[in-house]
Amino acid sequence: MEKKNVKEIAKLAGVSTATISRVINNNPNVKESTRQHVLEIVNKYGFKPDRLAKNLRTKKSYTLLVLIPTVENPYFAEIIRGINEKVYNTKYEVIIGTVEHKRNSMEIFLDLLKTNQIDGAIFVSSSIDKSQLINIKDKKNIVLCNEYIEGMDISYVCINNLLASYEATKKLIESGCKNLCYLAGRKKSISSEKRKLGFQKCLDEYDITSSAEHVIYGPNSIESGYESMKKIHDSNIKFDGILVNSDLKAAGVIQYLKQKDFKIGEDVKLICFDGTFVSEIITPKITTINQPGYIIGQKSLELLVNQLEDSECDFQSIIVEHEIKKGETL
């Protein structure tokens, strides 16, 4: 069938080109009967608006960037699933990028913002740091997801990491643990530091001594978990309780402990952050601090769109509830 332009579609529908535009952009000021009639014509002829021309007129791309640190962590897939679900009913589209193993990739992504090739961005976890955010002039077109930066007016969505870490550490202590270690994420991560503070706060309240050796930083990967646990064991540090920064990292910890014949849940108890499917398929099943990635993703997208659509929308901080999900490691 021959393609039709907007004027031809309007003529076939018996309405103005402005009405066609309103229907396509889901403008509420269109009668439902008119909307349905126009959509029938649009669908019949497979009409698609010239988005490039629209972008040039409005100086908007209607494209949003979601930047994640890595594609290897299944927790980020949950966040993206929530974002994709929420963006479906907006006029925006989402592109997904990652900064792992790519030189100068962040500069490329930030250039997209500076040159208006994207309207806004959601930076997930540690995909961006403070030094890079400072160079972004309009902070209203970004949202930090599962992370935040202290001392900057930037909207964010995350759990209360300090409280979650405190509660998990308390669970370990109440189950009988007296020698605790925290396998943290990267040092530059505010959430990782907040978790460290919660961990230490709980130890102090229970008058349990710890040192710098009891906290080991590293990437959220199986390999990092394995090597961190090996380092603790090889250093002859006493341990009977482990708090871990992610499911993937905890999988590496369990791999090492099983190789050394520790009885997990008895000799050593363990709680980790995230709560993805990884914690369910590992033997034994891991007790987790469940961060609802799907909900965090949805709320991040909703917050960004509100800021882009409403110039008077203030910066917001949204704290999502967490829960400790019992497994077999506690």
User: Hey, what domains does the chain have and what are their CATH numbers?
Assistant: 6-49 (1.10.260.40), 58-159+293-322 (3.40.50.2300), 161-290 (3.40.50.2300)
Q: What totals of helices (H) and strands (E) does the chain contain, helices first? A: 13, 12
Distance CA(219)–CA(284), nearest Å, equals 23
Beta bridge partners of 94: 64
Helix axes 17-24, 6-13, angle to 10 degrees: 100
Instruction: Specify the pairing of strand 215-216 against strand 269-274.
Output: unpaired
Q: Is the peptide bond before 284 cis (omega within 30 degrees of 0)?
A: yes
Residue 52 — pLDDT band, cuts 50, 70, 90? very low
**% of the chain residues with pLDDT over 90:** 58
Average pLDDT, the chain: 89
Distance CA(215)–CA(151), nearest Å, equals 25
Model confidence over 9-31: pLDDT tens digits? 888 889 888 888 788 777 777 88
- Predicted TM-score (pTM) of the model is 0.80
Q: Indicate the burial class of 39 (C-beta count within 10 angstroms; 0-12, 13-18, 19 or more).
A: middle
User: Does residue 101 carry a pLDDT above 50?
Assistant: yes
Cα–Cα distances in Å, from 167 out to 16, 94, 271?
61, 36, 11
